[in-house]
Structure 1
């Protein structure tokens, strides 16, 4: 047997691999056969389900040599143009309806409804609670019904609720619409993320998810500009300026929601879009399945097969998966410093003496900074196929600004405080990196759907926590709140290093066991094992 140092080299090389070492598993078919042997049987399996997808089986049999690099580039370009562009438009609708509450805080919204800042905090808490409660049920419905039906339905419903915010008159109606809006939007983020992952390889995902989240921050800036213009309509037809904002943005979102029924390509249907030729459609699917065979299950729209892997036991098993728990904890805590600052940014700016128009415009540089950092972080993660350094870099960015806000004396010029707030908000937002890391380390399509939903529940728990970090009694400089955020940032550093250690140690252990097995023992294990996904001995965690 080789020395320890040689074993380490083997283990680290396996951990560095961009592809998981798995037996072929094309839609509940799992054997130890070669790609060629396995693919040749696709058309005969599962009552001919794969015969709908053109030359997909032939491409899987031939592997990546079945198409040229130019065809691969063209397919990726068309996927970005046809799939990602509209996904970004869909994300715009989501963000427009959940961020406009921040814009209306720069008006007399609270006064008009007879509310205080802590009432606003309660509304945000209710919104995020409703949002997270719906994450798993919505993801299950999304998987059963299919994203091209369920997601547009969600979008149309939340657009109607957003429109109805025009007519709220008091605290009770404000809280009611917050609860309804959260319930309608809950599950969209993991749903659209799972949808997008069906069309791309693992090492392409962080950049594509970053495109989605870039839409979020572009929308924040657009929303600020729209608000600055719409607020000039104050008093028109007897409406407050914030009513006009809810009315006009609600109509825009409604038009996007209805259009999505006709614009959203389906991975399950034989024809994706007129943009793709039949061969390009087959190549798009084949390249993804060869990269991660578990994604073949996304082709199967069978409700029976779907429900088998989405029961209470599966949910509990995903939540308690020791290899996913670090990702869930990072989802909860990793973005708290930025989210807390963002939620109260306009309130802080108003307390510093800035007018409504100025406070909204100051939101723009924060959004541009966070978007730029996110795109760079995602590109680096995909380019070098390393995710764990990104959370550390984000905390290294945000900690100095938090410490500065905590320690500045009361008579510090407001311009410096604004600078610190903008760059606290504008840290390299790395949820696309973290979500792609999570997706790569699941190893099973059904479990991936649950894991992404639970991940986003963690994000919403973080948003709930963030909405209660800055309290009215701590205003206007929020020193106690910033102390909490400093502690959270340090904890995120510890969690990230722990996750890396866990994955590296497990890869090393599995490589030692796998290397010690004979070829016959490996084949017997792959045929007889009850281990699934990331529990298999030949699965390697990505770092």
Structure 2
């Protein structure tokens, strides 16, 4: 046997462990060197893939895998049939699946976020078109209407989660969008203070819980590391939407008088109709899970059988608790109480309460403040675009940096430090509100404060560590954010116009308060992790396995869980 023939026989023997490469072996020794190179490359790729998946696979131990297999069966987890602890896939395959998820899931969620943003913020454009004088309202009435919106939004958070978890977000979210779009269109008939308050309350109540519902749906498809980046896309999309709304308002508000309607009525009518179409389309865009994509609207489904297993197993290896509850299972009152009393997430709720008050205040008043600088209706709407553009850049930048450095607390500090500096200049500069273009530039720079909401939403999701609590904990966080928004709607008052000196000073102190709060949150989670690790490291391997299989600790109270910070 020649040397090449011997090498060829040896390679054929080695390939018995790699059946997928049998077709790479020729029947003779021709071009053997090239074949040998291909074989080595393929084996290296498979070995690398195996090493990669095993290093992040929490189900490597057979006892652990069996425990979770039985748990998923017990909970009737809808994707349990695809669970496979030994399943492996290549990085190329995973990237292909993630690209498909980006289009099918993330892009769809962005579009649904557009519907939310249009109908809850087009009021900011409406007030530039004499909306308040037409209805006989003043600044305080405007504040009251916004407060009613956020109170109803807040109160609807948990009930919305209870309904969504029972029906499934793929059913409830489209219903929400269609319902609030109809109410938004009805704002055409606004005639005074009472009708303004009623529609604000209805829109807030229907929209309440939407964000937490959608985050829950996204968590079915994306890992915790991927989630915050996708959420930054959504809030970037919302800001792009604000730019589009400003451009649309520039044209739509010119319809004042057509059909006898004021310009702001046309704004509510046509933009409400647009979001209604999105709501109807979302029935098509959403599916219950990765294994439930085939229906009369999607006869071929989204994925191949292998892609389904990749989607499911990558999610479970990132967070095994995602299979401990099925997607049509209602949340019990006991579960609700567990979420409400989870003190380990209270620091994040406190951050949500304080961190955005300044941004929300400026969000509600930015167009009005710009108008009061002397700009007309149409120029005011166009002048919002630079602020939105800078806002997108800062949002994407800080979210990317957080994931790149795998840090949330210190990176989030950038926001209040930035805010305290810029807001301090806005408040204490003598020319503020007097020098037109300089004041506009300062307001724009502050409004573009790095928005850490995407980081915090993902942070809450990670640290809840359970699908049983994730949706309610997300709702609790959003409730704290809405409480901050309620405060924000009442900072600028009629007797403080037009420079709002008192309100700006209050916002400056609130912004400063967020700095020590973020530092204390960091230290708290570091301390909690060390306390858990001390107990866990003292246990033997048998004790650890017994704990995993038999503990009554759940979610982030488990000793083998570590808080992100």
Structure 1 length as normaliser, TM-score?
0.89
> Counterpart of 2:406?
385
Query: Is the aligned partner of 1:289 residue 2:316?
Result: yes
Contact 2:177 2:276 in 1 (8 A): yes
The match for 1:355 among 371, 376, 379 is 376
Contact 1:35 1:61 in 2 (8 A): no
Query: Is the aligned partner of 1:443 residue 2:462?
Result: no
> Counterpart of 2:536?
514
* Aligned partner of residue 389 in structure 2, secondary structure: helix
For the aligned residue pairs, the C-alpha RMSD in angstroms reads: 2.3
Which range is displaced more, 509-518 or 431-440? Answer: 509-518
The match for 2:503 among 474, 481, 488 is 481
Contact 2:249 2:267 in 1 (8 A): yes
Alignment of 1:250-261 (within 5 A): 250-261=272-283
> Counterpart of 1:129?
151
Q: CA deviation at 1:131?
A: 0.6
Post-superposition Cα deviations, 1:316-370, rounded to whole Å, max 9, x if no partner, equal 3323322100110111111111111111111111111011111111111111111
Distance in structure 2 (CA, Å) of the matches to 1:132 and 1:269: 33
Distance in structure 2 (CA, Å) of the matches to 1:264 and 1:471: 42
Structure 1 unaligned regions, length at least 5: 1-18, 25-30
Structure 2 unaligned regions, length at least 5: 1-53
Contact 1:93 1:256 in 2 (8 A): yes
* Aligned partner of residue 67 in structure 1, secondary structure: coil
Residues matched between the structures, number: 506
Contact 1:54 1:278 in 2 (8 A): no
Contact 2:348 2:477 in 1 (8 A): yes
Change beyond 3 A, Cα 1:438–1:93: same
Which range is displaced more, 173-182 or 264-273? Answer: 264-273
Contact 1:405 1:479 in 2 (8 A): no
The match for 1:431 among 453, 457, 462 is 453
Query: Is the aligned partner of 1:204 residue 2:226?
Result: yes
> Counterpart of 2:44?
none
Change beyond 3 A, Cα 1:529–1:172: same
The match for 1:278 among 277, 297, 305 is 305
Distance in structure 2 (CA, Å) of the matches to 1:270 and 1:262: 13
Post-superposition Cα deviations, 1:276-302, rounded to whole Å, max 9, x if no partner, equal 22221221111011110111235x245
Change beyond 3 A, Cα 1:158–1:535: same
Contact 1:514 1:537 in 2 (8 A): yes
Q: After TM superposition, which residue ranges in structure 1, 4 or more long, deviate above 3 angstroms?
A: 19-24, 31-43, 52-55, 272-275
Distance in structure 1 (CA, Å) of the matches to 2:55 and 2:355: 27
* Aligned partner of residue 461 in structure 1, secondary structure: helix
Distance in structure 2 (CA, Å) of the matches to 1:302 and 1:172: 39
> Counterpart of 2:425?
404
Structure 2 length as normaliser, TM-score?
0.85
Q: CA deviation at 1:380?
A: 1.4
Which range is displaced more, 116-125 or 361-370? Answer: 361-370
Contact 1:21 1:538 in 2 (8 A): no
Contact 1:39 1:61 in 2 (8 A): no
Q: CA deviation at 1:520?
A: 2.7
Q: CA deviation at 1:152?
A: 0.3
Change beyond 3 A, Cα 1:180–1:468: same
Contact 1:23 1:526 in 2 (8 A): no
Who wins on radius of gyration, i.e. which is larger? 2
Alignment of 1:289-308 (within 5 A): 289-297=316-324, 300-303=326-329, 306-307=330-331
Higher relative contact order (CA 8 A, sep 6+): 1
